[in-house]
Amino acid sequence: MGRNEQMLEALEAIIQKRVEGLDKKITNEKMQAVARGAAGSRMFLLLAEICRDEFSEIAQDISRVIERYDAPNASDYKDAFHKLLDGARKKVMEAFTAQNSKLGEHTQSWLVKALAVAMKNLEREFNLTVTVPNKTDDNDLALAFLRYYAKVPKAHKINVLGRPYQAGALEGELGRKFTSEERAQAARVLTALIKDNLLEPTYEDVAEPENWLRITEAGRSAEKHGAPDDLDVKLMKINPHLVTRRRGAWAAAASDQPDAPSQAALSGRELVNQLLGDYLAPIAEMKAQTNFVPSKDSRTGVTRRMQIKYAMTKRPSGISDSDLDIAEAAAVLLDALHTKLSSFAHTRDPSITAIEVKTVLSATETILQLLLS
């Protein structure tokens, strides 16, 4: 059996396990409703909403497995994602109808439509997430600069950036010709590399002491790890896929495609979800703590704010008494930023600009730096 077949088989097993869990949820909710004397059309609608939410969570599971399995080629799995999602939709519907023989036609129709709408939105979200914009992003440019300067003792920045009538070394490194806008973008990235002490002026040339640059030791380390800034380095140590997710968000934010702001927001939101849920504050790990108290505001018993505060306690630098207030404020802010990213991700409002998304992404990354420091 090939690796692709193994992954698809594993996903089928995940879907089946989820549906079995859904079946138990339906049974438990019905028993509680009967005990409360609340059986009836409202109960059926509540069960339908539970099925819809479970379907969305199944889709997120499928998306994450595909991205972890083969992130660079995740866009090749769009057909497989559709097939798996359609199969999950049918199983969720079967689980609902199997336990509700007296189901009203209105409620059944509502769930059919709700699942159809959810499936359309989830497929769009997956397609946006795995589609890589054509435009070169700042991280790619930064790494290309570092790769070039790592190979030479020094180089004049204009010779690297190039001119409209003469390609620069950076264009040779990337194998493409820049537009005037891309050359201006590269110039801004170069300035940032100097500011971050990854490149530095040689101050050896009499005529142009600041225009001849060389790579620093910090720059060589960043080039070696494929991480042009400190947050990338930290994410790379956890899982390189997180860096890919982060770069996808900024690449989309820099794109001029109509859906780019939504795509950027999706990637930013998933970066937070995966960093917290898979590495810094897994729900199972939190529930295993002796002082764990479940929240009534979350079906899992764990809210995002609880995850953020828990992650603060695990920081490499530790947490002091004075950091507790910061942890509380960070939890509130990151939770609000996550909600904002989610709202951006699910809208096609043309008034949502790339600048707004970039502002939220930057603020989100500030909190992530705090969690990882």
Predicted confidence at residue 56, as pLDDT, reads: 86
Predicted confidence at residue 323, as pLDDT, reads: 67
Half-sphere exposure of 7 (CA within 13 A, CB side): 17
Joined tokens for residue 368: 């992530």
Question: Helix (H, G, I), strand (E, B), or coil: what is residue 7?
Answer: helix
Predicted confidence at residue 359, as pLDDT, reads: 86
Predicted confidence at residue 105, as pLDDT, reads: 66
pTM of structure: 0.55
- Each domain of the chain, given as residue ranges in start order, spans 3-130, 138-225, 230-372
Q: pLDDT tens, position by position, for the chain (373 residues)?
A: 456 778 888 889 999 998 898 888 888 888 887 777 766 667 777 888 888 888 888 888 888 888 777 766 677 788 888 899 999 999 998 888 876 656 556 667 888 888 888 888 788 777 756 654 456 678 889 999 999 999 999 999 999 999 887 888 998 888 778 888 889 999 999 998 998 888 999 999 888 999 999 999 988 888 887 777 778 878 888 888 888 788 778 877 777 676 777 777 888 888 888 999 899 999 999 999 999 999 988 888 998 888 888 888 888 777 766 666 776 787 788 888 878 877 776 666 666 677 888 888 888 888 888 888 8
Residues 6+ apart with CB under 8 A from 233: 222, 225, 227
Q: Quick count: other Cβ atoms within 10 Å of Cβ 99?
A: 14
Fill in the amino acid letter for 71: A
Question: What is the separation, in whole angstroms, between the first and last Cα of the chain?
Answer: 43
Cα(234)–Cα(245) distance, integer angstroms: 14
Predicted confidence at residue 100, as pLDDT, reads: 67
Fold of 138-225: Arc Repressor Mutant, subunit A (1.10.10)
